[in-house]
């Protein structure tokens, strides 16, 4: 099983492994956020991870039943409670967006409206030393599109894995498929 040596940070309400998929149901009012705008800190989201040394690329396909404000699922890299990045699909204003939150002491949030395939969205995160490159696979032309290039404190090892949260409820159901971690893609930013 792919995830047999992985660890849950804040285990979800329910989860099960099935082939190359992980099915998760979130616990009540879970989230990752630090201070900005909302004046609160949350470190209660669900994160299934392993430690990775050096640079890497990680990908996953995420399919969720997004229904309530801030339902979210995707990839996460985490150095500590105050230094992490999450990227994936998030439900806001009645629609699904590609969302990235970069946290270096405090969180920021960016959203991109993208075409969403009902079978899921493929997400990619690459670590190039101090830079984190976030991309999604655009279903309209089957090409990787940039979503974010962010600073991340240089470190030899970081926690990497899948993440999901439901800040306004419990029971958000999400499936993660075809997850992998491998060598970093080329540093070339443009085709």
Q: Where are the domains of the chain?
A: 29-181
Full pLDDT tens readout for the chain, 191 residues:
578 789 999 999 999 999 999 999 999 999 999 988 777 789 999 999 999 999 999 999 999 999 999 999 999 999 999 999 999 999 999 999 999 999 999 999 999 998 878 789 999 999 999 999 999 999 889 999 999 999 999 998 999 999 999 999 999 999 999 999 999 999 888 76
Provide CATH code, domain 29-181.
Answer: 2.60.120.200
Strand partners, 122: 61
- pLDDT confidence of residue 1: 52
pTM of the shown model: 0.96
Closest to 140 (Cα-Cα) out of 166, 113, 164: 113
């Amino acid at each position: 099983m792919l995830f047999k040596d992985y660890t849950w940070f804040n285990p979800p309400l329910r989860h099960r492994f099935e082939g190359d998929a992980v099915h998760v149901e979130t616990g009540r009012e879970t989230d990752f956020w630090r201070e900005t705008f909302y004046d609160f800190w949350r470190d209660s989201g669900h994160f299934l991870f392993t430690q990775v040394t050096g640079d890497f690329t990680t990908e996953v396909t995420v399919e969720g039943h997004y229904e309530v404000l801030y339902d979210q699922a995707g990839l996460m890299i985490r150095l500590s409670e105050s230094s992490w990045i999450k990227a994936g699909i998030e439900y806001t204003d009645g629609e699904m967006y590609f969302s990235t939150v970069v946290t270096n002491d405090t969180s920021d949030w960016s959203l991109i409206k993208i075409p969403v395939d009902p079978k899921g969205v493929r997400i990619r995160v690459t670590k190039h030393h101090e830079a984190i490159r976030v991309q999604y696979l655009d279903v309209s032309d089957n090409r990787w599109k940039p979503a974010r290039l962010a600073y991340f404190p240089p470190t030899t090892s970081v926690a990497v894995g899948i993440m999901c949260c439901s800040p306004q409820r419990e029971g958000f159901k999400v499936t993660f498929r075809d997850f992998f971690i491998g060598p970093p893609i080329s540093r070339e930013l443009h085709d």
